[in-house]
Structure formats: C-alpha cells, structure tokens
Chains A and B, each alone.
Chain A
Amino acid sequence: MPRTRHEPDPGTIAFEDLGEALGVEATVVMEYVELGLVHPCQQATSRTLTAADVARVSRALRLAREFDVHAAAAAMLVELLEERDALRRRVACLEQVAGTPA
C-alpha cells in the first residue's frame, strides 16, 4: 500500500472558493449559512469557513442527496447526528468511570 504523508490544512477556506471546492453553486453554500449550520468568520478582506464547517456543509449536501430532503432538513440532520455522536461518546466515557448501570 502506498504511504503518503499529509499535514492538516491551515484550517480555513475562503468563501469564494467554497462553491467550486464542494462542486455546487455558491448559492447552495449560502443557503446553509442562512440556515445557521455554519458561520463564516471575517478574516481581513475575505470571509472564511473552518475545516470543520466545510466538513459540515459537505456532509449536509451529501445527506440532502442521500435522504432526498431539502437543505433545512439536511442541516438539522447534521446537527442532530453530531449531537447524538457526542452524547454517545460522553455516555461511553461516563460509564467507563462510574461503572455501567446494572
């Protein structure tokens, strides 16, 4: 198996590049900003999204396609799935420390 070494990205991507990066119209990305799924930050002259936020938009786009739902539902799905996964990890952690309930 070939091995490639990769450094993590600086962490942000400029808003103007997002549409092209994600393979969709820029208006589609704007929709998710308006829905509040992600919040661009102002950096000097451009607005940017963090890598985590780009991942969320990418995930929402995929879920919208896979579940055949509108952007609003896809955005909510991303948030709920993230919350569910975080809660599962926390429960696993607490059960480890406190002992699993009988």
Chain B
Amino acid sequence: MQFKDYYEVLGVGRDAKAEDIKRAYRRLARKYHPDVSKEPNAEERFKEVQEAYEVLKDPEKRAAYDQLGRDYRPGQDFRPPPDWGQGFEFSGPGGAGGFSDFFEQLFGQGSPFGGRGPGRQFDVRGEDHHAQIDLSLEQAYAGGTHTIGLQHPETGRDGRVELRSRQLMVRIPAGVTDGQVIRLAGQGAPGVGRGGRGDLYLKVALRPHPLFVVDRRDVTLTLPVAPWEAALGGVVPVPTPGGTVELRLPPNSRAGQKLRLKGRGLPGTPPGDQYVVLQVVLPPAETPAARELFERMRRELPFDPRANLGGAHATHKA
C-alpha cells in the first residue's frame, strides 16, 4: 500500500487553514468534476481530490493523518501504526465509497474512524447510479428490451481506480422521449450494513436522425418537392417514424410552408405530430429542352421573387 500525500493532492501546505483547504477543494472540484471537466482522466482525478478533502476537512482525521504523515514520502510503502487512531472520537461515515486502499485502511470501515465501535452498527444506503442509454429514433418509437452495459469506477487493491462492468436487461416503453429518465429501484451501489441498495436512473438519449429533427414527441422532416408539385398540388409519399404515408399538398403551396401530420410523431398520450417543411427543389437546367422550359417561364410568368425586399433590387454589377 502506498502513502498518499493529501496536501499535495489539494495543492496546499501542511499548515493550511480550513478555509484554504475548502477553497482548494472547490477549485479542483470545478476543474475535475466529470460533469463539467474538460480534463483527461477527470473521474480518476476527482476521486483523488474527494478523498483528500474527506480527510483534510475533518479536524480529527486531519490531526491523525498529520501525526503519521510527517515521516513518509508520497508513493512510499506504508503500514498503519499499531496504535492508529487511539484517543480519537468516532467521526462520520468513512467517505462516499470508492476511495483508495490507503484511505480504507486508515479511515474506512473497520478503522477507528469508520464508525464501528462497541455496539455501533453502521447502515448507509448505497449511492444512486446514473447512466445513459443511447437509442435510435426507431428504437424509441417501437420500444422494446435492451441489454445495457454499465461501468462503475471502483478502487482496486493497489489504489488505482478500475472500471467494473456488468450487464442489465431493461424494457424501454414505446415513445420514450429524449431526456426521459427511467428509475430502476435497487440497481445502484450496494449499501453498508442494513442500508439498502441505491437506485439506477437511466436517462434516454436519442441519437440524431438523418431525416427527422425530434422535439419531445414531435418530429420535423424537411421534404423536397418539385416546383409543379408545390404549385399544382398533389399527393406525395412522406417518410414518418412509423413508415411512409401519403401527403396531400394543397395547390399553391409555398416554399418553407409547414404542414402537420397529426399523430405521426412518437407514440404516447397524446401522440406527437409530424411536421413537414416544404423545400422546393429545382430540376437541373442541363439540357437545351430544360433551359427552354425555364426561359418560357421567365418570359410568360410575371414574377418578382424579391418584390418585398425594397430598395434597388435590379441586377447591377458589384
């Protein structure tokens, strides 16, 4: 087991005041907390910082640690002295779990600081775990059973943080939305003593879809249409999450117009809708015949697309 220099971890001197230690912890928590950190190995570093703070913020633990720490170098082989912790009062629980072997020996369960004493039982509920499951839009639409792999950092024998993995089969209801949370009771971390297991909160994350933009249960599709389809109206096939349907375009539909297919979004009570945004696409003007058709439209259709822009809009050389 290796000695850990908690002062070095927090970047404070051995004579640091409580407020310095608190300030140092907050700064490092901001830097390494996995939810907000941009650093590599953030999770591992954060556990290290948490462990150091757990000891140094508690006057009793800090005093005990200082007593033995004077003679050791970080990384040096270490054994707790036989009379470790004698004379100190019981403190709070031995940390949030997942700390190093060094910490567990000195401050964890079974140590004088771990709350175990004559007649004292220690019951702490296990931590809740949070995980994410990535689904495609099709999977969210249909629902179904999925096997997910979960990984949780745990501290191994040598003090290094390892990732333990396990698999779980979960039933996803049809029509789950992006960001929805499914609670799985008792699937979190094990507790201590008679404390129960924590829960697992599974957050659904929808993968981006090449065709549909998803907003809760509604989906939006940009639909390419030919100019005559928009102008003259007609029936066109439209993809939806549940399959292709036919959409009736009214005559004189405008480019960018939004049409609604009620109930064609994700299922639910009520089901979401699908919105179709019309994107008028020009046929290519690559053959003489095609160009002649366009020329004819230019000659025979009086049309200024920029009439509403105002100001000089006639073509002129820049």
A:82-102 near B, CB below 8 Å? 82, 85-86, 89, 92-97
Q: Interface size for chain B: under 10, 10 to 19, 20 to 34, or 35 or more residues? A: 35 or more
Binding-face segment, A5-13, A28-36, A39-47: A5-13
Mask, B182-224, CB within 8 Å of A = 1, is 1111010000000100010101011011111110000000100
Tell whether B281 is near chain A: CB-to-CB under 8 Å.
no
Of A55, A68, A82, the residue contacting B201 (CB under 8 A) is: A55
Tell whether B107 is near chain A: CB-to-CB under 8 Å.
no
A28 vs B210: C-alpha distance when bound (angstroms): 44
A96 vs B137: C-alpha distance when bound (angstroms): 14
- Known contacts A3-B168, A67-B29, A86-B178; A58 and B201 CB within 8 A of each other: yes
Tell whether B50 is near chain A: CB-to-CB under 8 Å.
yes
Q: Which residues of A have CB within 8 Å of B301?
A: none
Of B25, B185, B203, the residue contacting A9 (CB under 8 A) is: B185
Size of the A side of the interface (Cβ < 8 Å), in residues, is: 37
Tell whether A54 is near chain B: CB-to-CB under 8 Å.
yes
Mask, A38-71, CB within 8 Å of B = 1, is 0000000000000110110011001101111100
Question: Judging by beta carbons under 8 Å apart, are A62 and B128 in contact?
Answer: yes
Tell whether B235 is near chain A: CB-to-CB under 8 Å.
no
Q: Which residues of B have CB within 8 Å of A8?
A: 170-173, 182-184
CB B52 to nearest CB in A, in angstroms, measures: 13
A7 vs B36: C-alpha distance when bound (angstroms): 31
Q: Which residues of B have CB within 8 Å of A81?
A: 35-36
A93 vs B222: C-alpha distance when bound (angstroms): 13
Question: Judging by beta carbons under 8 Å apart, are A65 and B96 in contact?
Answer: yes
A7 vs B130: C-alpha distance when bound (angstroms): 17
A54 vs B170: C-alpha distance when bound (angstroms): 19
Chain A CB within 10 Å — which of B165, B171, B172 has the most?
B171
CB A40 to nearest CB in B, in angstroms, measures: 16
Question: Judging by beta carbons under 8 Å apart, are B29 and A55 in contact?
Answer: no
Question: Judging by beta carbons under 8 Å apart, are B201 and A23 in contact?
Answer: no
Q: Which residues of B have CB within 8 Å of A95?
A: 208
- Known contacts A55-B130, A59-B130; A6 and B171 CB within 8 A of each other: yes
Q: Which residues of B have CB within 8 Å of A22?
A: 128
A89 vs B25: C-alpha distance when bound (angstroms): 31
A49 vs B29: C-alpha distance when bound (angstroms): 30
Q: Which residues of A have CB within 8 Å of B211?
A: 97
Question: Judging by beta carbons under 8 Å apart, are B213 and A97 in contact?
Answer: yes
Question: Judging by beta carbons under 8 Å apart, are B169 and A51 in contact?
Answer: no
CB B125 to nearest CB in A, in angstroms, measures: 4
Q: Which residues of A have CB within 8 Å of B167?
A: 1, 3
Of A59, A66, A82, the residue contacting B33 (CB under 8 A) is: A66
**A97, closest chain B residue (CB):** B213
Chain B CB within 10 Å — which of A8, A51, A92 has the most?
A8
**B220, closest chain A residue (CB):** A97
Tell whether B249 is near chain A: CB-to-CB under 8 Å.
no
Q: A5-B171, A96-B209, A97-B211 are in contact. List 13 more A-B contacts (CB 8 A).
A: A6-B184, A6-B187, A8-B172, A23-B124, A51-B181, A54-B201, A55-B183, A58-B201, A66-B33, A82-B179, A96-B208, A96-B210, A97-B212
